[in-house]
Amino acid sequence: MSQLAKFRLIGLLIAAVTFFIDQWVKVFVVDELGLDQIGENYPLLPFFDFTRANNYGVSLGMFEATSVEMRWILVGVTAAIALVVLVWMMREKLFGDIFALGLILGGAAGNIRDRALYGYVIDYADFHIGDFRPFLIFNIADAAITIGVVIILARALFMREKPEDEQDAVAE
In angstroms, the CA 131 to CA 129 distance is 6
Indicate whether 167 pLDDT > 60: no
Mean pLDDT, rounded, of the chain: 89
DSSP one-letter string for the chain: --HHHHHHHHHHHHHHHHHHHHHHHHHIIIIIS---STT-EEEEETTEEEEEEEE-SSGGG-S---SHHHHHHHHHHHHHHHHHHHHHHHH---HHHHHHHHHHHHHHHHHHHHHHHHSSEEEEEEE-BTTB-SS--B-HHHHHHHHHHHHHHHHHHH-PPPPHHHHHHHH-
Give the pLDDT mean for 92-106: 96
pLDDT of 26 higher than 90: yes
- When pLDDT is cut at 50, 70 and 90, the band that residue 149 belongs to is very high
Catalytic residue among 22, 97, 123, 126: 123
Q: What is the pLDDT of residue 148?
A: 97
Active site residue 131: no
Q: Is the pLDDT assigned to residue 170 strictly greater than 60?
A: no
The proportion of the chain whose per-residue pLDDT surpasses 90, expressed as a percent, equals 73
| Amino acid at residue number 28 | F
With 50 as the cut, is the pLDDT of residue 8 above it? yes
pLDDT digits (tens, 9 = 90+) for 41-92: 999 999 999 999 999 887 655 667 778 888 999 999 999 999 999 999 999 9
Mean pLDDT, residues 110-138: 91
**What is the reported pLDDT for 165?**
55
Q: Active-site residue 22, yes or no?
A: no
Does residue 104 carry a pLDDT above 70?
yes
Domain edges within the chain: 15-66+75-161
Residue 171 scores a pLDDT above 60: no
- Other beta carbons within 10 angstroms of residue 59's beta carbon come to 11
What integer is the mean pLDDT of 106-129?
95
Query: Is a pLDDT exceeding 80 seen at residue 18?
Result: yes
Other CB atoms within a 10 A radius of the CB of residue 53 amount to: 20
Residue 131, pLDDT > 90, answer no
